[in-house]
C-alpha cells in the first residue's frame, strides 16, 4: 500500500506535516477509487434519487424506501424496505468461494446497519465463455460461496442473473443485492449523533485477512492475482453473521443503537471515520482495545484489516453494559474502543510496555470526503453498423435457446434456499421474484441484472434497455416499480474508450430510470475491472423493487387455456427491429444497430402491471434475452404448449431473435381487454393460441419449427449437463 505522490502532497498541505505510516495507509485506502469514487462521482448527479417514497437516499450503507400505504394513495409512514447492492469482483477471481461469500455478508451487514432485517438476496453474475474450464471453475466456486453463506444465515436468494461473455475471462463480476424490512421506529443511520457517546465494536475478532482490500479493488487484476492477491481477500463466517443478525435485532428491540456502520472496505478505519464524519464530529479510538484473533497485531493492521462479521455502533454511555450483555448472549466479541468527540479523528495505540503512540490525528471529514475527483479523458462509443450473416432458422433457434447465457439457470438457483423465511411467493426462474410483506399486506417484486451483449453493442441504449427490462420484469408480476439501486461496473477509467463507455451506461441508466419515474436511491461503483485479457464490457447491474397489493402473480408459463398476445413489439408492428446486442449475433457473428426502445416506457410498464393484475390474464413473461425464441421456449411445459405465428415485414431472424426491451408475451382469456389497456401506449399483436399439447409449433415468416417440451428442456439444460 502506498499513497500516490500527488495525494500525499495534498495530505501534507492539509496536516502541515508528513503523515504517519498509519495515516498514509488510511488515506491510501479511503481515497481509493473503491471508497472515494474519484472517477465516477462527478457522473452520478445524473441520477434522480428523490421521491415521496424515499426515506434515506444515497450515501448511507443502504437506502430506505417507504412501501405504498394500504389505500394505495401514498406511502406508508410505518413500513419501510431497505435496498442495497455491492460488488465483490476482484476477490471472487482470486478466491471464488470466499470472495462471493463475503460479498453476501457485506451487503447483509449494510442492511443491518439501517435497522432492518434482511429478507431477500439477488445475485447477478458475469463470467467468461462457459466452454472455458476456468470460467466454469469460477462459476462453481462463486455459486457455492453465495449459496453456502446465504443458506447458513437464513436469507433467501430469490432472483438474479447469470451471463457469459468473452470479455469477462480475466475479471468476472459478482454483484449482490439485498432487501431488508423495518418499521419506522427501528430506523438507524450512519450519522454519529453526540460527543461523549461510546464507540462499540461488535462481532468477530480482528485478524489480518483482507488487508488493503479497498486499494486492491481499485487496481487492474494482474496475471498472478490468484496467488499474489490472496491476502487481500476476506474469509467469511456465516454462523457468526447469523448471530450478528439476531444480536442486531435485540439491540434495536431495546433502542440501544444511536448510529451504526458495517465494517467493509478499509475496515475499522473506514467505518469509524465515515460514521463520525457524517455527523460532523470526530472520534478518539484506542486501538489496543479492539478484540483480536491474531497475536502481535500492529496499529495499521488493526485499523485496516477487513475481517468479516463486524459492526461499529454508537452507544450512549449508560447503555454500554447492556450492549456487552447482549453480545455475550449471542457469543460475539465486544469492545468499547473509544468515543465520539467534537475534535479530530484520532487513534492511539498502547503497546505491552505501556508506551502510548498517536498513530492517527486528522480531520474525519477530510479523511472521508477530501479525495480530489479525477478529470479523465473519454471517447464516445461508436454505434455498430449492420453486417448480418445468413442463418438457418432451426439451427439458430437451437443455438440461441441452448446458449449458456439464455439457457436454464436451475443448476444455480437450486443451490440456494429461496424459501427460507416463508416470504417467497414467486421464486427464481421467472421474470422477478415476489416476496410477501405480510405486515403491510404488500407483495414486493424484486428483479436484478444487466446484459453485456447490449452494452457492448451500444452502451447508452443498452443501459436504457437494462433499466426498462428490469421494470418490465417487475410489472410482469402485477407490481409497479418503486425504487432501484445500481452497481456500475467498468474497466480501467484511465483508458479514454473505456471511460467513454462507462459514461454512456451511467447516462443511459439515469435517463431511462428518469423516464420511468423510478428513483435510483443508492448503489455501488466498481472500476478497474481490467486484466491482461482486456477490460470488461461496461456492465450496469440494476436491482429494482416494485410493490403491489397482495402476493399473487400470474404464471410465467403457459396454462394451455388462452390466446397469446405480444405487447410492445416493434418488429411485429412493422418497424425495423435491429439485432444489435442479441444472443443470435453472439452465436453466429455479425453486428447490427441496437433495437429502438418504446417511446412511452412508463405508460407501457403501467399498462403491463394492470394487465398482469387482471383476473383474465393467465400468464405473463417478459421478452428480452434471446428474443421471442427464448421467451416462448421457456413458457412450454409438459402439460401446456402453443401454436404461434410471427409474421410482419421484418425478416424471420428479426422477428424471432431481436431483443428489444419492454415487450411481454401475455396469455389471456380476454384479448380485447389487453388491447384496450395498451391502446395508444404500445402495439399489441395476436400471435396464437395455447393448448394442452406440451409442445411449441412456431411459424415464422412462413417457416415452421416444431419442438416438444422434452426437446426444449434438453436444449435448455446445457449448463446443468456440463456442471453436474
The string of pLDDT tens digits covering residues 573-629 is 988 889 999 999 999 999 999 999 999 999 999 999 999 999 999 999 999 999 999
Q: Which three cell numbers stand for residue 93?
A: 477471481
Residue with the bigger pLDDT between 455 and 210: it is 455
pLDDT at 209: 82
**Residue 297 maps to a domain:** yes
pLDDT of residue 215 exceeding 70, the answer is: no
CATH code where residue 69 lies: 3.30.1330.10
pLDDT in tens, 568-589: 999 999 888 899 999 999 999 9
pLDDT beyond 80 at 224: no
707 pLDDT more than 60: yes
Whether 258 contacts 197, CB under 8 Å: yes
Between β-strands 282-286 and 333-341, what pairing exists: parallel, antiparallel or unpaired?
antiparallel
Task: Read off the pLDDT of each residue in 90-100 and give the average, rounded to a whole number.
Answer: 93
What pLDDT was estimated at residue 416? 93
118 shares a domain with 83: yes
Alpha carbon distance 694, 557 (integer Å) = 11
Kind plus residue range of the DSSP H or E element containing 330: none
If you average pLDDT over every residue of the chain, what do you get? 94
With contact defined as beta carbons under 8 Å apart, do 122 and 158 qualify? Answer: yes
- E strands present in 460-508: 480-489
Task: Please indicate, yes or no, whether residues 52 and 85 belong to a single structural domain of this protein.
Answer: yes
- The residue among 228 and 80 whose pLDDT is bigger is 80
Q: Which pLDDT tens digit goes with each residue over 671-684?
A: 999 999 999 999 99
Do 315 and 201 sit in the same domain of this protein? yes
Q: Are residues 509 and 562 in the same domain?
A: no
The number of distinct structural domains making up the chain is 3
Residues 593 and 450 both lie in one domain: no
User: Is residue 81 in some structural domain?
Assistant: yes
Give the three-state DSSP class for 682: coil
Do 21 and 75 contact (CB within 8 A), yes or no?
no
Rg from Cα positions in the chain: 26
The kind and range of the H/E element at 551 are none
Which residue has cell 470488461? 536
Same-domain check for residues 177 and 200:
no
Question: Of 490, 523, 553, which residue sits at a domain end?
Answer: 553
Q: If you average pLDDT over residues 165-191, what whole number do you get?
A: 96
The answer to the question of whether 408 is labelled as a binding residue is no
Is residue 343 included in any domain, yes or no? yes
Contact predicate 283/346, CB 8 Å: yes
Give the domain range for residue 521: 48-187+419-553
In three-state secondary structure terms, 498 is helix
Does 523 belong to an annotated binding site?
A: yes
161 beta partners: 124
Alpha helices by DSSP H, 183-316: 213-216, 225-228, 238-253, 267-278, 299-304
In a domain, 378, yes or no: no
82 plus 175 within the same structural domain: yes
- State the Cα–Cα distance between residues 192 and 278, nearest whole angstrom: 7
Q: Are residues 64 and 176 in the same domain?
A: yes
For position 72, what pLDDT does the model report?
A: 75
455 part of a folded domain = yes
What does pTM read for this prediction?
A: 0.95
Mean pLDDT of 635-643: 98
Q: Which ranges of 254-341 would DSSP assign to H, the alpha helix?
A: 267-278, 299-304, 320-329
- 52-57 long-range contacts, CB within 8 A, separation 24+: 53/482, 53/483, 53/519, 54/483, 54/519, 54/521, 55/80, 55/187, 56/114, 56/187, 56/189, 56/521, 57/519, 57/521, 57/522
- Whether residue 323 lies inside any domain: the answer is yes
> Among 98-102, 207-211, 314-318, 564-568, whose mean pLDDT is lowest?
207-211
Report the alpha-carbon angle 251-63-366, nearest 5. 90
- Residue 672, Cβ density class (10 Å: 0-12 exposed, 13-18 middle, ≥19 buried): exposed
Mean pLDDT of the region 78-97? 95
To the question of whether residue 713 is assigned a binding role by annotation, the answer is no
Confidence at 709, pLDDT banded by 50, 70, 90? very high
Same-domain status, 485 and 510: yes
Distances (CA, A) of 302 to 206, 324, 337, 348, 645: 7, 21, 12, 11, 66
87 among the known binding-site residues? Answer: yes
For residue 716 the three cell numbers come to 435448455
CA distances from 99 to 96, 231, 267, 308, 568 (A): 5, 11, 16, 11, 40
Average pLDDT value for residue range 631-658: 96
203 and 175 in one domain?
no
One domain, residues 570 and 680: yes
Cα angle, residue 585 at apex, residues 581 and 591 outer, rounded to 5°: 70
CA 104 – CA 121 distance, rounded (Å) = 8
CATH of the domain at 685: 3.90.650.10
Cβ neighbours of residue 608 closer than 8 Å, sequence gap 6 or more: 472, 475, 476, 567, 568, 620, 664
306 annotated as ligand-binding: yes
Task: List CB contacts of 353: < 8 A, sequence separation 6 or more.
Answer: none
The 3-class secondary structure across 591-635, one letter per residue, is ECCCCCCCCCHHHHHHHHHHHHHCCCEEEEEEECCCHHHHHHHHH
* Residue 339 belongs to a domain: yes
User: Residue 361 and residue 359: Cα distance in Å, rounded?
Assistant: 7
Quick check: is 378 catalytic? Answer: no
pLDDT given at position 222: 54
How far is Cα of residue 582 from the mean position of the Cα atoms in its chain?
22
Tell the residue number behind the cell numbers 403501467, with chain if given.
606
Distance from C-alpha of 112 to C-alpha of 56, rounded to nearest angstrom: 14
- Is 621 assigned a ligand-binding role in the annotation? no
In the structure, what pLDDT confidence band is assigned to residue 265 with cuts at 50, 70 and 90? confident
> How far does CA 30 lie from the centroid of its chain?
22
Does position 320 have pLDDT exceeding 80, yes or no?
Answer: yes
User: Which of 527, 553, 579 finishes a domain?
Assistant: 553
Catalytically annotated residue among 34, 165, 625, 658? 34
| Location of C-alpha cell 474525519 | 364
- Is residue 88 a known part of a binding site? yes
- pLDDT at res. 230: 46
Of 500, 521, 553, which residue constitutes the final position of a domain? 553
Number of Cβ atoms within 10 Å of the Cβ of 421 = 17
pLDDT of residue 220: 52
Which pLDDT score is estimated for 229?
45
Query: Does residue 452 fall inside a structural domain?
Result: yes
Active-site residue (options: 88, 418, 621, 625): 88
Q: In this structure, what C-alpha cell is assigned to residue 666?
A: 401475455
Whether 658 is a known active-site residue: answer no
Residues 225 and 344 reside in one and the same domain: yes
User: Does residue 529 have a known ligand-binding role?
Assistant: no
Give the integer Cα–Cα distance in Å for 220 and 216. 8
Q: How far apart are CA 380 and CA 501, in angstroms?
A: 7
Amino acid at each position: 500500500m502506498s499513497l500516490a505522490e500527488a495525494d500525499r502532497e495534498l495530505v501534507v498541505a492539509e496536516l502541515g506535516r508528513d503523515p504517519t505510516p498509519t495515516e498514509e495507509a488510511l488515506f491510501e485506502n479511503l481515497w481509493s477509487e473503491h471508497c472515494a469514487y474519484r472517477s465516477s462521482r462527478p457522473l452520478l448527479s445524473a441520477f434522480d434519487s428523490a421521491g415521496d417514497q424515499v426515506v434515506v437516499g444515497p450515501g448511507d450503507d443502504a437506502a430506505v424506501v417507504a412501501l405504498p400505504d394500504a389505500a394505495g394513495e401514498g406511502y406508508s409512514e410505518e413500513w419501510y424496505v431497505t435496498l442495497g447492492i455491492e460488488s465483490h469482483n476482484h476477490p471472487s477471481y482470486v478466491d471464488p468461494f470466499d470472495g462471493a461469500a463475503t460479498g453476501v455478508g457485506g451487503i447483509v451487514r449494510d442492511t443491518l446497519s439501517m435497522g432492518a432485517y434482511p429478507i431477500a438476496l439477488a445475485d447477478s453474475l458475469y463470467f467468461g465463455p462457459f466452454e472455458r474450464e476456468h470460467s466454469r471453475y469460477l462459476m462453481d466456486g462463486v455459486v457455492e460461496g453465495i449459496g453456502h453463506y446465504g443458506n447458513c444465515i437464513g436469507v433467501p436468494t430469490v432472483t438474479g442473473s447469470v451471463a457469459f461473455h468473452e470479455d469477462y475471462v480475466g475479471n468476472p463480476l459478482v454483484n449482490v443485492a439485498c432487501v431488508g424490512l423495518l418499521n419506522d421506529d427501528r430506523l438507524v443511520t450512519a450519522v454519529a449523533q453526540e460527543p461523549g457517546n461510546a464507540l462499540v465494536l461488535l462481532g468477530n475478532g480482528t485478524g489480518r485477512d483482507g488487508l488493503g482490500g479497498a486499494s486492491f479493488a481499485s487496481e487492474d487484476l494482474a496475471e498472478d492475482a490468484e496467488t499474489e492477491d490472496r491476502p487481500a481477500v476476506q474469509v467469511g463466517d456465516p454462523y457468526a453473521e447469523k448471530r450478528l443478525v439476531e444480536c442486531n435485532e435485540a439491540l434495536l428491540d431495546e433502542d440501544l443503537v444511536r448510529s451504526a456502520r458495517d465494517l467493509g472496505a478499509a475496515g475499522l478505519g473506514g467505518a469509524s471515520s465515515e460514521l463520525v464524519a457524517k455527523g460532523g464530529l470526530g472520534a478518539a479510538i484506542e486501538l489496543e482495545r479492539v478484540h483480536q484473533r491474531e497475536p502481535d497485531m500492529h496499529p495499521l493492521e488493526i485499523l485496516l484489516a477487513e475481517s468479516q462479521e463486524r459492526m461499529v455502533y454508537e452507544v450512549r454511555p449508560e447503555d454500554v453494559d447492556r450492549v456487552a450483555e447482549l453480545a455475550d448472549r449471542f457469543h460475539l466479541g465486544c469492545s468499547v474502543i473509544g468515543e465520539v468527540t467534537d475534535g479530530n479523528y484520532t487513534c492511539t495505540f498502547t503497546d505491552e510496555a505501556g508506551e502510548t503512540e498517536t498513530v492517527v490525528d486528522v480531520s474525519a471529514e477530510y479523511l472521508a470526503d477530501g479525495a480530489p475527483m479525477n478529470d479523465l479523458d473519454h471517447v464516445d462509443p461508436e454505434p455498430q453498423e449492420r453486417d448480418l450473416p445468413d442463418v438457418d432458422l432451426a439451427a439458430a433457434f437451437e443455438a440461441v435457446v441452448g446458449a449458456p447465457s439464455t439457457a436454464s439457470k436451475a443448476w444455480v438457483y437450486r443451490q440456494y434456499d429461496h424459501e427460507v423465511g416463508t416470504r417467497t411467493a414467486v421464486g427464481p426462474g421467472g421474470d422477478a421474484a415476489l416476496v410477501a410483506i405480510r405486515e403491510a399486506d404488500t407483495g414486493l417484486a424484486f428483479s436484478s441484472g444487466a446484459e453485456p451483449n447490449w452494452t457492448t453493442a451500444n452502451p447508452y441504449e443498452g443501459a436504457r434497455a437494462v433499466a426498462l427490462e428490469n421494470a418490465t420484469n417487475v410489472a410482469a408480476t402485477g407490481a409497479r416499480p418503486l425504487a432501484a439501486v445500481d452497481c456500475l461496473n467498468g474497466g480501467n477509467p484511465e483508458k479514454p474508450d473505456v471511460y467513454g463507455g462507462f459514461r454512456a451506461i451511467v447516462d443511459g441508466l439515469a435517463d431511462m430510470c428518469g423516464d420511468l419515474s423510478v428513483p435510483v436511491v443508492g448503489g455501488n461503483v466498481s472500476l478497474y475491472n481490467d486484466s491482461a485479457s482486456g477490460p470488461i464490457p461496461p456492465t450496469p447491474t440494476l436491482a429494482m423493487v416494485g410493490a403491489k397489493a397482495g402476493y399473487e402473480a400470474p404464471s410465467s408459463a403457459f396454462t394451455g387455456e388462452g390466446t397469446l398476445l405480444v405487447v410492445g413489439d416493434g418488429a411485429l408492428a412493422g418497424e425495423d427491429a435491429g439485432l444489435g446486442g442479441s444472443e443470435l449475433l453472439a452465436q453466429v457473428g455479425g453486428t447490427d444497430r441496437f433495437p429502438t426502445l418504446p417511446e412511452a416506457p412508463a405508460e407501457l410498464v403501467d399498462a403491463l402491471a394492470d394487465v398482469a393484475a387482471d383476473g383474465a390474464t393467465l400468464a405473463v413473461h417478459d421478452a428480452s434475452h434471446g428474443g421471442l425464441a427464448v421467451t416462448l421456449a421457456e413458457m412450454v411445459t409438459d402439460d401446456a404448449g402453443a401454436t404461434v405465428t410471427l409474421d410482419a415485414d421484418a425478416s424471420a431472424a428479426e422477428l424471432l431473435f431481436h431483443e428489444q426491451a419492454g415487450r411481454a408475451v401475455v396469455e389471456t382469456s380476454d384479448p380485447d381487454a389487453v388491447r384496450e389497456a395498451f391502446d395508444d401506449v404500445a402495439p399489441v399483436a395476436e400471435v396464437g393460441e395455447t393448448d394442452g399439447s406440451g409442445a411449441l409449433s412456431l411459424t415464422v415468416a412462413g417457416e415452421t419449427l416444431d419442438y416438444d417440451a422434452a426437446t426444449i428442456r434438453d436444449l435448455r439444460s446445457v449448463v446443468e449437463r456440463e456442471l453436474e
